[in-house]
A and B are shown apart, each in its own frame.
Chain A
Amino acid sequence: MIWVVAVFLLLGVFFGITGTIGVLRFPDVFTRLHAAAKCSTTSIFSILLACMLLKGWDPMSWRIMVIALFFLITSPVSAHIIGRSAWMRGLMPWGRKRKR
């Protein structure tokens, strides 16, 4: 069981590092949002799943499950809010130059 927990924690750290590199390196608001939203959701969900597997049947495990459900609902909503705000302000997506 400890190996499964270690694999999930390693997966979470890997996706966290990947998302941060993407946020630092990508050229545009929308591409940065793509990297940040997907990688943060995957990373946090892997880490919370590892914590649940580590604790087993415990009251802490159910609280972690509530946190995971809340994060799984609100993270895409927050990313959509940021993207919609950037689109409404008229920022151009990175790519071929064209008028919108």
Chain B
Amino acid sequence: MTNTTSPANSMDPLALELCALSKTFKLGGGMLHKPQTLKAVNEVSLRVPRGQVMGLVGESGCGKSTLAKMLLGLTPPSSGDVLINGKAIVNANQKALARHIQPIFQDPYSSLNPRQRIAQIVGLPLRIHALGTPREQAAKVDQMLDLVGLPKRAAQQYPGQMSGGQRQRVAIARALIMRPDLVICDEPTSALDVSIQAQILNLLLDLKDEFGLTYLFISHDLAVVEHLADRLAVMYLGQIVEEGTREQIFTSPRHPYTQALLASALTPEPGLGVPDIGLGAGQPDPTQPPSGCAFHPRCPIAQPQCSEQTPKLSAITHASGQAFGKGSQARVACHLA
């Protein structure tokens, strides 16, 4: 594994860097109501070294997908910077951005145009960017379909004629045909059956090695994230509460939220029963986030200070820091960690 490289080391090439990235939405408002503000993403800073898989986990509504949209240039950030390969993208042209970063979405049923043939769908980026002659483009499409494990005849089919797994392969082919550096995988397997999920995960790993890709892998399935990710960031109500290498997060999680998330993942081991994770009901209303640490109302170990002071995401040295390789820095936002 490549965990010995440090994300904090400025010598390493970073595929992606987020600097205090925020997105605020205004909700409602009108003649009689003041609009409410919702901080979907709140000052997120993250560095993803080239060639690594950064897992991003958290409950629904924690801002994972808003973050992904900002990276793809689909939503402008309210403040903060996104740097891809060291260059800020905030004012970058969408077309130029698309050559470096591509998405794979969750639902392969709604992300493919049902009225276009697969060859058109996969070849569209080449046509938009006017790369090569039509013949070269067709050859490239064939090659790409072959790489993602689709038969040649698939090129002439429509998405409606394909299974969910095959469609997700098409989505992957479309994302990779421009040879991007960075791929945002937003729950790429959660709409698929388990037997198909394994095929797609294997494919994503193979393609990563083949093209030297960097993935930002968003998922709620912790077993899948543990399988793929080199590093992991845990989000709660728009903020990163813990970040570290896979080993750090999975073997010694420091934030109580990370601990609860890991405890609630159900592995196929009979007889263990369902864990009692003791996290009250759902997340609080994001338009009225709790004072201090946003997690304190659900936190089993909350202290008085937690409702008063907001903990900063700060570097920690793990007790067994050396075991994870030197320089593998972890960050956690908790007064008590």
Q: Do A and B come from one complex?
A: no
